Amino acid sequence: MSHLELAGLSAYPESRVDYAGSTYFMTRGERMLGVIGESAGFEGTRHEASGALLCPLTPTNAAALRRRLPWLNPVPLGLRTSAGFGDRLGLATPGHVLAVRGTGIAPVFAQQSVRENARTHRTPQQVLDDAMWGVFQAGWREPWGADADHLKTPADAEAFAAAGYTFYTIDPGDHVDNAADTDPAATLTAKVDTLPWDILDSSAKDLEERYLKVLLRLGRFNLYFDRPVLLRAAAKYGRAVAHTVTMYRHLHTLMGRRPWELEVSVDETATPTTVQEHFYIANELRRLGVTWVSMAPRYVGRFEKGVDYIGSLAQFEAEFGRHVTIMHYFGGYKLSLHSGSDKFAVYDIAAKLTGGMVHLKTAGTSYLEALRVLAAHEPQLFREILALARRRYDTDRATYHVSADLTKVPTPDALSDAQLPDLLDQFDARQVLHVTFGSVLDRFGGQLKAALRSHEDAYDEAIRKHFVRHLEPLMQ
């Protein structure tokens, strides 16, 4: 029996750290930070039997612990194979650690978009602190990242930078002109003429000179632009490129000397990114001095929330391979799989074709695994959540790419307790439960989190088991 147990404290064994003359640990039950030794900067009460200062998990104590234990600070992860673990509840990181430990995959444990923060009523600082406490509890000592996901405006970045995020995902989707895919030539010409050429540091004439005279022999295929293809690419993505440049320059100023890295995301758009459009985006960004570590084009097929890839795998593999060629042409960056949760059919393809130069981004699947645990252990609460999700689906689905048919989702009273967990394997139910998380947390957030605390080991194991399926194909 340990000294702490003799003193009446139960601690997570993986959390114990003896460092620079002090000991740190996290208690079970009502989770508290324990500090034995030098405790300046921490706020708490003294536990007489052990001599430890027991500190609530507050922002002040999180900041103090990060100053003491440097590995609790997120860092840039570079070109390593990586995976983002979004956590809408702030409870999943210990399970994420169990899944990623020993894989060699670099984890991004703090990942939340502005949209998700708004729906969960959390701040970037809360998301980062929750992930850090999970990292500490689980004894993770290796590098990890923090992703300010899907930033759309310069103002979006402020709170993430203040909190210490290291990975910034710019989402210029609002500036992508999807109509350009079908616009006639005259309309495309007019759109290109009115691009923000001051930000792009160019002109329509210079654009044509840069692209129309070039034939690139890329080994697997030749790449060239005729005038319609070039005008379509520029009309569709020119304003998105300009917005990305503006965001990048703002971040460069905001972050100062602090290390950080950038991801460019154009995945949440109506139509796929062609290989010529990928080249145009990358070439223009590079010309304008932007550096990035990963890029998320809009791939062929459908990457809907919470379910596997929908579409032809043969077509995906062929087109993805061409995107890989463009990636290598520009010196190498990772291709990112957004809405990557549960896309088991494409992981092996992506990992093999990129040689591991891939970033997987997941979010809602950890929440769905929480509901699976709830269905098994707290069936009445799960039934109430299911009923609310069915009522809210038509409203809450508005900002997500989903195709669930609500009529195929059973009502709560149509299933026995034993059948409830199976809903988390059913296409339509998964999507309905996935996109209604904000409404559910507004009504049941406290009860849901308390239930998961009561079944902590089951939740950690559910997360571990589920994410092993995500990560094993990436280990090439």
3-state DSSP call for residue 273?
Answer: coil
pLDDT for the residue numbered 251: 98
Whether 43 is catalytic is: no
How far is residue 4's CA from residue 50's CA, in Å, rounded to a whole number? Answer: 6
What's the pLDDT tens digit per position in 313-347? 999 999 999 999 999 999 989 999 999 999 999 99
Average of per-residue pLDDT across 415-444: 97
Burial class (CB in 10 A: 0-12, 13-18, 19+), 195: buried
Query: Mean pLDDT throughout 223-246?
Result: 97
Q: Catalytic residue, from 129, 149, 171, 428: name it.
A: 149
pLDDT-derived band at 219, boundaries 50, 70, 90: confident
pLDDT of residue 230: 98
Residue ranges of the alpha helices (H) in 149-274?
A: 154-163, 185-193, 197-200, 204-211, 227-255
Look over the chain and give the mean of its residue pLDDT values, rounded to a whole number: 96
- Helix, strand or coil for residue 281? helix
Calculate helix-pair angle for 364-377, 93-100, nearest 10 degrees: 110
What is the pTM (predicted TM-score) of this model? 0.96
What is the share, in percent, of the chain residues with pLDDT greater than 70?
A: 99
pLDDT for 54: 97
- 6: pLDDT strictly greater than 70: no
Question: 144-185: per-residue pLDDT in tens?
Answer: 999 999 999 999 999 999 999 999 999 999 999 999 999 999
Instruction: Flag the least confident range among 1-5, 42-46, 198-202, 293-297.
Output: 1-5
Strands 294-296, 334-337: pairing kind: parallel
Contact by Cβ (8 Å): 42, 33: yes
269: confidence class by pLDDT, cuts 50, 70, 90: confident
Q: Is 29 left (phi over 0), alpha (psi -120 to 50) or beta?
A: left
Mean pLDDT, residues 220-233: 95
User: CA-CA distance, 426 to 423, in Å (whole number)?
Assistant: 5
Check if 226 is active-site. no
**Where residue 3 falls among pLDDT bands split at 50, 70, 90?**
low
pLDDT over 60 at 1, yes or no: no
- Strand order, beta sheet including 22-26: 17-19, 22-26, 33-36, 52-55, 45-47
Catalytic residue among 130, 147, 263, 268: 263
- Domains and their CATH numbers in the chain: 3-68 (no CATH), 71-178+213-364 (3.20.20.70), 366-470 (no CATH)
